[in-house]
Structure 1
Amino acid sequence: MNILSQRCRTLNYAVTTPSSAAMPLEPDIPGVTHEFGECLLLLIGVECGDSTFARAAAKAIRRIARKTDTTWIVINGFSHLTRPGHECDTTTARTVLARIAEHLRDHDFAVHMMPFGWNKTWRMEVRDGEWEQRMTRFPPIHADRNDRARLEGVRAERSSSEPRALTSP
């Protein structure tokens, strides 16, 4: 999972057209502009095996939100821009994103989920600074070799042609 977080003074977006993975929306939603001030925009790329990182991802996001004193957390999630061979299905990606949002709400953060699988027009004013723009990865780059090997093994199993259930270590 890769999370690009950007602290925005302003963020405006509107849903435009559906992709092949688009979630169903009411017909009056496309074209409506959503506006946020002083928000943390998260672009979250979900890969197979990332469901084990939902709680840790939410914890990292909470830390960034506190450091930047944000009022809203806006999540735009996807699985189509991940590493080749590590994409996960739409249902899995949406489930992981929903778990992250739930963990954030459990800690009293206001969360807005952008509609999954829809193209959008954007306009934002992004702040600069150490905590204002960050890339967070799961598993963390500094994870030890055993952790990384185990996680890569889980991902390899999930991307094989035969579906298999994930097992706990």
Structure 2
Amino acid sequence: MLIIAILVAWKMRVLLLHAERFSYTPTKKAVSQADEEAGPHSVENALVVFTTVEDGDDEEIVRKASQDIAEHAAKVKADIIVVYPYAHLSSNLAPLSEARQVLSELAKSLENLGLKVHKAPFGWYKAFDIKVHGHPLAELSRSYSATERMPPLMETTRDFEQKLYNDYLQRFGLTLGGKATRMSDKWRSALEDVAMELRTCDGETATVFTKDITAEKIDYCTEYLLEGVAQPIRAFFIERGIPTTLDKLKSVIGEEGLVVNEKHVWLQGKQFKFLVGLSLSGDKTLAFMNTILAGMIAMNIEKMQSSQYIPMLPIKYSVVQAYIAINNPVSSEYASLVASKVGKKLKRVVVDDSDSKLAEKLRRAGMLWAPYVIVVGKREEESRAVSIRRRADGTTKVVPVDELEEQLY
């Protein structure tokens, strides 16, 4: 059995300011889960810790953060530490109840280290005034990560693994290298279409798995697909996580074989299991577009083994959407005309004008699960038409070339 896993990291973000003096005044309750009302407060020679709690922050992160903050307080010789809730250092915020608890645990952890600590009230708008020292350590930003091993991205039986890799993924331009698994540039827009379908683009962030297996969050609305993949492990089809909803994920995959629990979303059959997403707070899901595509291919393979099933991906995610088989002799002008009309409706098109026999070209189209196979021969050119074969229903019909675009959807 093949098992491939990766690590994912969560972060707490802080801004450390060594203040000659610092004061604040709560002005108005901002959230229903706010701390009890408190009055103004002022301190001198304080290390003010503006703290943003991210979704997933836990005890390990609190421990790392408190130790580092304590060490920094000793370096700058601060008399007191102020833990100040500050939700402006990240867009991946923890739920209110969790953020409130983590901030309290951070303050308590610092007190347990023998430090004098004051925690500003959570959930209030506050006016504050600060005078920061001018030495080199007076202004620092920090992020604290706790690394968690995710479950395997994929599990397969040995026989199914060989069939999946050797017989199918390579023909779709999906190759398994020594350090990473990538999709060839030729068919990369299939992944882009999966990503575009999943993303909600509401200002959230996506998780990028970097070379040292840590996670960085960036704005996925402006840059949702990256070249880099997790290394040096054999990270199976992981490039980006797309923040989305479970309903959107179901619209891409369908509900067959989809298993959802509190933390993970799986696509599984009898011989394989793919991790296609992580369950986040609420209805949010971090979806892995690469395992989604590979999982849909695996689902088709398994169905094919047990019945006379014709494998096929949804056309918007098919790595080859149309296969144009040129049955020579056909003029280059007519072949180009047909290709241009198909290209206006579909992104991923193969034009096979090789010297191979038509039967061989049709076999190649079938191996790529092309939803449309368009045959252009001498007879079609003379009648200004094409022959369209639809994989979904197995039908074939001849249509005028001027009506070709209307037949593709």
What TM-score range do you get, normalising by the shorter chain?
Answer: 0.7 to 0.9
Deviations 1:26-81 (A, max 9, x none): 4xx3xx32110100111001101111311000011011100010111011124x43
1:4-43 correspondence runs (5 A): 4-26=15-37, 29=38, 32-43=39-50
Q: Is the counterpart of residue 67 in structure 1 residue 75 in structure 2? A: yes
Deviations 1:74-132 (A, max 9, x none): 11124x43533x22111111111112111111111111111101011111111122221
Deviation of 1:159 (Å) = 4.0
Select which of 99, 103, 107 maps to 2:109: 103
Instruction: Give the Cα–Cα distance (whole angstroms) in 2 for the partners of residues 104 and 144 of structure 1.
Output: 33
Native 8 Å contact 2:24 2:126 kept in 1 = yes
SS in 2 for 1:11: strand
User: Are the structure 2 counterparts of residues 101 and 144 from structure 1 closer, same or farther at C-alpha, using a change threshold of 3 Å?
Assistant: farther
Query: What TM-score, normalized by structure 2, do the two folds share?
Result: 0.34
Native 8 Å contact 2:95 2:281 kept in 1 = no
Q: Is the counterpart of residue 122 in structure 1 residue 128 in structure 2? A: yes
User: Are the structure 2 counterparts of residues 68 and 144 from structure 1 closer, same or farther at C-alpha, using a change threshold of 3 Å?
Assistant: farther
Instruction: Give the Cα–Cα distance (whole angstroms) in 2 for the partners of residues 21 and 45 of structure 1.
Output: 18
Question: Which sections of structure 2, spanning at least 5 residues, go unmatched?
Answer: 1-11, 147-209, 216-229, 231-239, 242-262, 264-277, 286-409
Instruction: Give the Cα–Cα distance (whole angstroms) in 2 for the partners of residues 21 and 43 of structure 1.
Output: 21
User: Are the structure 2 counterparts of residues 121 and 83 from structure 1 closer, same or farther at C-alpha, using a change threshold of 3 Å?
Assistant: closer
Structure 1 residue identity aligned to 2:47: L
SS in 1 for 2:71: helix
Structure 2 equivalent of residue 157 of structure 1: 279
Structure 2 residue identity aligned to 1:101: A
User: Are the structure 2 counterparts of residues 145 and 106 from structure 1 closer, same or farther at C-alpha, using a change threshold of 3 Å?
Assistant: same
Structure 2 equivalent of residue 134 of structure 1: 140
RMSD, aligned CA:
2.7
Instruction: Give the Cα–Cα distance (whole angstroms) in 2 for the partners of residues 160 and 108 of structure 1.
Output: 37
Q: How many aligned positions are there?
A: 153
Select which of 4, 14, 34 maps to 1:3: 14
Instruction: Give the Cα–Cα distance (whole angstroms) in 2 for the partners of residues 24 and 94 of structure 1.
Output: 8
Native 8 Å contact 1:47 1:82 kept in 2 = no
Select which of 44, 49, 55 maps to 1:48: 55
Instruction: Give the Cα–Cα distance (whole angstroms) in 1 for the partners of residues 50 and 31 of structure 2.
Output: 19
User: Are the structure 2 counterparts of residues 129 and 22 from structure 1 closer, same or farther at C-alpha, using a change threshold of 3 Å?
Assistant: farther
Deviation of 1:13 (Å) = 0.9
Structure 1 equivalent of residue 186 of structure 2: none
Native 8 Å contact 2:82 2:120 kept in 1 = yes
Instruction: Give the Cα–Cα distance (whole angstroms) in 2 for the partners of residues 44 and 91 of structure 1.
Output: 15
Structure 1 runs of 4+ aligned residues shifted over 6 Å read none
**Based on CA coordinates, which of the two structures has the bigger radius of gyration?**
2
Instruction: Give the Cα–Cα distance (whole angstroms) in 1 for the partners of residues 17 and 97 of structure 2.
Output: 26
Deviation of 1:12 (Å) = 1.3
Structure 1 residue identity aligned to 2:84: N
Query: What TM-score, normalized by structure 1, do the two folds share?
Result: 0.79
Question: Which sections of structure 1, spanning at least 5 residues, go unmatched?
Answer: 164-169
Structure 2 residue identity aligned to 1:146: I
Deviation of 1:22 (Å) = 4.8
Structure with more contact order per residue of length (Cα contacts < 8 Å, sep ≥ 6): 1
Structure 2 equivalent of residue 167 of structure 1: none
Instruction: Give the Cα–Cα distance (whole angstroms) in 2 for the partners of residues 21 and 40 of structure 1.
Output: 28
Instruction: Give the Cα–Cα distance (whole angstroms) in 2 for the partners of residues 133 and 33 of structure 1.
Output: 24
Native 8 Å contact 2:55 2:94 kept in 1 = yes
